[in-house]
Amino acid sequence: MQHSILILGGTAEARALAGKLAGDPRFAVELSLAGRTRAPAEQPVPVRVGGFGGAEGLAAYLRQKGVSILIDATHPYAARISRNAAQAAEISGVPIVALRRSPWLPQPGDRWTEVESVADAVNALGPDPRKAFLTLGRQELLPFEAAPQHDYLVRSVDPVEPPLTVPNAVYLTERGPFRQADEARLLQDHGIEVIVAKNSGGPASYGKIAAARELGIEVILIRRPELPDVPSVETVEEMLAWLDHAPPPLK
């Protein structure tokens, strides 16, 4: 009997996991995307786009679809979705396992200032004008309008519309992965003095962190939110091993 798996995605790991499971006859897989990215990458399994209506709505969906395993492979900063997933699993009785990439750890030469929120990151830039590279989601950029004295280089997957109401901002619309050498060149070309980023973990966006270390540039790093305490693994390979030992679905 097949396991019906719902993957809550939006990460490279979610797509990679879906690709590994797509041809496995033991599993019927659906990938759920929040719909925040306008042109998501092509996915190897059926995709559902949009919210569920909170924990209760997700629990109802799990029951309706006969889902036997819920995999939370959302971004490490998608705390609300992860909380809803944990609650929905408890309500519905569907087993949940999270795929959570490990965070980056400071290395010799890193100049990190760790803060709790985007607002704290704005304050950490300080009062004097600086050239800052913002690598946050486009929905999280508005607080930087409170610090118009800085020159901003903004990179996002989707265009920032409307643009920030600050005098000096340059926008890049790009999707990773980003190589260290390319990131170092970008930082030098724009005279960047400070990077604002999340501790996303994984290799796809680590290039800027390594490049900042190489060039002696400060990184204001927003700490990860607290996530629900559910069974979890760190890599796609570990998730595949977990699924290999999952009990058969209840009839």
Kindly state whether residues 123 and 168 are assigned to the same domain.
yes
Q: How far is CA 232 from the centre of its chain?
A: 16
Is residue 13 domain-shared with residue 85, that is, in the same domain?
Answer: yes
Let me know whether 46 and 117 are in one domain. no
pLDDT of residue 251: 56
Query: What pLDDT is stored for residue 175 in this prediction?
Result: 86
Q: Is 90 helix (H, G, I), strand (E, B) or coil?
A: helix
Which residue intervals of the chain are DSSP H helices? 12-21, 54-65, 79-92, 118-124, 180-189, 207-215, 236-244
Angle at 232 between CA 5 and CA 32, to 5 degrees: 35
Q: What's the number of domains the chain is made of?
A: 2
Q: What is the pLDDT of residues 157-206, one digit of tens each?
A: 889 999 999 999 999 999 889 999 999 999 999 999 999 999 999 888 99
Q: Is 119 in the same domain as 184?
A: yes
216 plus 124 within the same structural domain: yes
* pLDDT tens per residue across span 9-43: 988 899 999 999 998 999 999 999 986 655 556 77
- CA 135 from centre of chain: 12
Check residue 35 and give its pLDDT: 66
- pLDDT over 60 at 213, yes or no: yes
Give the C-alpha separation, 212 to 141, whole Å: 21
Q: Is the same domain home to 91 and 138?
A: no
Phi and psi, residue 58, nearest 5°: -70, -40
Q: Is residue 193 part of a domain?
A: yes
Range of the domain at 161: 112-222
Q: Which residues pair with 1 in a beta bridge?
A: none
134 and 97 together in one domain? no
Judge whether 162 lies within some domain: yes
Please say if the pLDDT value at position 153 is more than 90: yes
pTM (2 d.p.): 0.86
Which whole-number Å values give the CA distances from 153 to 78, 196, 212, in the listed order? 24, 10, 15
Among 57-61, 139-143, 222-226, 244-248, the range scoring the smallest mean pLDDT is 244-248
Q: What is the structure's pLDDT at 38?
A: 55
Question: pLDDT band at 144, cuts 50/70/90?
Answer: very high
Alpha-carbon gap, residue 206 to 204, rounded angstroms: 6
Mean pLDDT of the region 117-125: 97
Do 95 and 126 have their domain in common?
Answer: no
Instruction: Give me the CATH number covering residue 117.
Output: 3.40.50.1980
- Is residue 68 pLDDT above 90, yes or no? yes
pLDDT at 146 over 90: yes
Quote the CA–CA distance of 183 and 199 in Å, as a whole number. Answer: 17
* CATH number for the domain harbouring residue 8: 3.40.50.720
- Residue 121 binned pLDDT confidence (cut-offs 50, 70, 90): very high
3-state SS of the chain: helix, strand, coil percent to 5? 30, 20, 45
